[in-house]
Amino acid sequence: MAVIISDTGPLLAFAGIHQLTILQQLFKTVYIPQAVWQESQAHSDDAAQQIATALQQGWLQVVTVSPPHDFPVSLGDGEQEAMQFAMANPSALLVMDDRLARREALQRKLAFVGTVKVLWIAEQRHLISDAAVLLEAMAANGYYLSRQLLQQISE
């Protein structure tokens, strides 16, 4: 079974629309590096509280990662630590949306999916009724998704 590792953006996107449990339903256990945990708790808001609750429930787990090295400085600490943890786990699947981070993951031959793919899978497994509606809610909540991507999903 794959080790699922999430970056901060997708966690906040799902929590921002009260759909964090989609990750639990699909993957059972999701790991986040310490830097992702810290980034997700940077603001005392509802999304941060939902993530903290998921941690208390045990399906979201914080892991300590050896200090990342040889990553572009343009990547955030959470992205670097998520990829560092993935490199140490050959069966890892990263959940990340940042374009530069995904490009780096490709170069390092790391497997990843984005929020759109996670929602598509959830829809295919009948966990949600309409991925496009949730993507639009994420966008309305301030999560960046390209207009082209939203149009493709809505069609």
| Domain CATH code at residue 27 | 3.40.50.1010
In this predicted structure, what is the pLDDT of residue 152? 60
Range of the domain at 123: 3-129
Whether 145 is in a domain gets the answer no
pLDDT (tens digit per residue) in 68-101: 889 998 999 999 999 999 999 989 999 999 989 9
Nearest C-alpha neighbor of 9 from the set 84, 126, 129, 35: 35
**Contact at 8 Å (CB) between 8 and 81?**
no
Whether 24 is in a domain gets the answer yes
φ, ψ at 98 (rounded to 5°)? -60, 125
Q: Residue ranges of the chain with pLDDT lower than 50?
A: none
Whether 42 is in a domain gets the answer yes
In this predicted structure, what is the pLDDT of residue 138? 92
- For residue 146 the two structure tokens come to 């390209």
Whether 146 is in a domain gets the answer no
In this predicted structure, what is the pLDDT of residue 90? 87
